[in-house]
Chains A and B, each alone.
Chain A
Amino acid sequence: MATEGQQHPIKIYFLIWLLLFVFSFFSYLVDYLDLQGNLRWFLIVVFMLLKAGFIVAIFMHMKWERFALIFGILTPPLALVVLMFLMAIESDYAWSTRVVYMGEDPAPKPELPEHMSHKEHGEEIDH
């Protein structure tokens, strides 16, 4: 059985390294430029998936592995995608019951860190 190592030209590692830097810089820029709404959500997920894909495919050599290993490792996490969708539906329902039946504020305003103080201690203890 061939136990050949994963040997590839150094050039491709440098290229991916550079790409990871660029994508990280862009995703940081999303926050720095304070983009909001669907655009922010979309850009964050796209840069995240690009980075994750390049790390797995090139740095972890998945691109060059036999399909038996790729299949064995990359298909089980699909169950996690299902879990994520199920929990998202459930959370949406739980949130709506809290708003409808418990009279919770559907859009609470976050406080700025400057206002942080310990004087409202009594408020938070109820959970």
Chain B
Amino acid sequence: MTDTTLSTQESIFTSTARDWSSDMTTFKGVPWGKAMMWIFLLSDTFIFTCFLVGYMVMRMTVTQAWPVASEVFALTVWGVSVPLLLIAIMTFILITSSGTMAMAVNMGYQRRKWAVFWLMFATALLGASFVGMQCFEWYKLISEGVRPWHNPMGAPQFGSIFFMVTGFHGLHVSVGVAYLLIVATRVVRGKYDHTNFEIVEITGLYWHFVDLVWVFIFAFFYLW
């Protein structure tokens, strides 16, 4: 069946119905690894959204005071308390890492292996520094007495949801750093020379997803 050429003549709905009912590969022109990564990310979307909906339910039903995020996560720099400073730095670091990852994907399709390696290495380094800052944030909150079952500033649910959501996201970043380093090394060792370097794009999908989840956590957990 001629697949990609037909799509210009028919509507997107006709082409989608044809793709899904073709009794062949559904996602035509998409490497299977990329389709699988998208399906994995879809399942991860459900996990993170269930966490965030759980957070919403706690926040809406709680009758004790909820801590003010911009005060809890403030940092004192040269004697001035700046609200949410650490979180803002972490957000910018993650966006920067998303940018270097997008560059790495672009270099991959140009088959510039060392450029891919260094860009992915930079992405991993930024990711690792993000995890480091998150460790500092956990340390700060734990030393202030916040526990998954207790919170000296009011609602104890704050402690449990904070450690669960940021912990799960931090785990994703840590796994992503390892994944990036493995793929980057394999790229320069020539393991993907027979392919179109779509592995870099697949790794990129995972990394951008981690950034995407942070966008929602930043909005709902830190800014709300």
The digit string for A74-114, where 1 denotes a CB below 8 A from any CB of B, is 00110010011001101110110011001011101111110
Interface centre among B70, B201, B219 (most CB of A within 10 A): B219
Q: Are A3 and B56 in contact (CB under 8 A)?
A: no
Give the distance in Å from the alpha carbon of A10 to the alpha carbon of B112 in the complex: 14
- What total count of A-B pairs have CB within 8 Å? 206
Task: Tell yes or no: B138 within 8 A of A by CB.
Answer: no
Task: Tell yes or no: B168 within 8 A of A by CB.
Answer: no
Give the distance in Å from the alpha carbon of A113 to the alpha carbon of B45 in the complex: 33
Given contacts A3-B29, A21-B95, A60-B205, whether A77 and B16 have CB atoms under 8 Å apart is: no
Report the nearest A residue to B38, measured CB to CB.
A73
Task: Tell yes or no: B156 within 8 A of A by CB.
Answer: yes
Task: Tell yes or no: B135 within 8 A of A by CB.
Answer: no
Count contacts on A: residues with CB < 8 A to the other chain: 73
Task: Tell yes or no: B65 within 8 A of A by CB.
Answer: yes
B83-91, B124-132, B173-181: which lies at the A interface?
B83-91
Give the distance in Å from the alpha carbon of A108 to the alpha carbon of B72 in the complex: 17
Q: Are A17 and B102 in contact (CB under 8 A)?
A: yes
Q: Are B7 and A108 in contact (CB under 8 A)?
A: no
Give the distance in Å from the alpha carbon of A124 to the alpha carbon of B26 in the complex: 54
Of the candidates B61, B71, B98, which one forms a contact with A20 in the assembled complex, judged by CB atoms under 8 Å apart? Answer: B98
Report the nearest A residue to B197, measured CB to CB.
A5
Q: Write out the residue numbers on chain B whose beta carbons fall within 8 Å of the beta carbon of A63.
A: none
Whole-angstrom distance between the Cβ of A102 and the nearest chain B Cβ: 8
Task: Tell yes or no: A38 within 8 A of B by CB.
Answer: no
Task: Tell yes or no: B171 within 8 A of A by CB.
Answer: no
Given contacts A90-B57, A92-B60, whether A52 and B16 have CB atoms under 8 Å apart is: no
Whole-angstrom distance between the Cβ of B10 and the nearest chain A Cβ: 11
Give the distance in Å from the alpha carbon of A27 to the alpha carbon of B83 in the complex: 13
Whole-angstrom distance between the Cβ of B58 and the nearest chain A Cβ: 8
Interface size class of B (residues with CB under 8 A): 35 or more
Q: Classify the secondary structure of B's interface with A.
A: helix
Q: Are A17 and B63 in contact (CB under 8 A)?
A: no
Q: Are A21 and B92 in contact (CB under 8 A)?
A: yes
Given contacts A13-B102, A111-B65, A124-B151, whether A55 and B211 have CB atoms under 8 Å apart is: yes
Task: Tell yes or no: B99 within 8 A of A by CB.
Answer: yes
Q: Top 8 closest A-B pairs, CB basis?
A: A104-B63, A91-B60, A68-B19, A48-B219, A67-B12, A17-B99, A110-B65, A108-B65
Residues of B at the A interface (CB closer than 8 Å) are: 3-4, 7, 12-13, 15-16, 19-20, 25-31, 35, 38-39, 41-42, 45-46, 49-50, 53, 56-57, 60-68, 70-72, 74, 83-84, 88, 91-92, 95, 98-99, 101-103, 105-106, 108-110, 144-145, 150-154, 156, 196-198, 201, 204-205, 208-209, 211-212, 215-216, 218-219, 222-224
Residues of A at the B interface (CB closer than 8 Å) are: 1-8, 10, 13-14, 16-17, 20-21, 24, 27-28, 30-32, 34, 40, 44-45, 47-48, 51-52, 55-56, 58-61, 65-69, 71-73, 76-77, 80, 83-84, 87-88, 90-92, 94-95, 98-99, 102, 104-106, 108-113, 116-118, 120, 124, 127
Can you list 12 A-B pairs, Cβ within 8 angstroms, ordered by A?
A: A14-B99, A17-B99, A30-B223, A31-B83, A60-B204, A66-B30, A67-B12, A67-B16, A68-B27, A69-B30, A76-B42, A80-B53
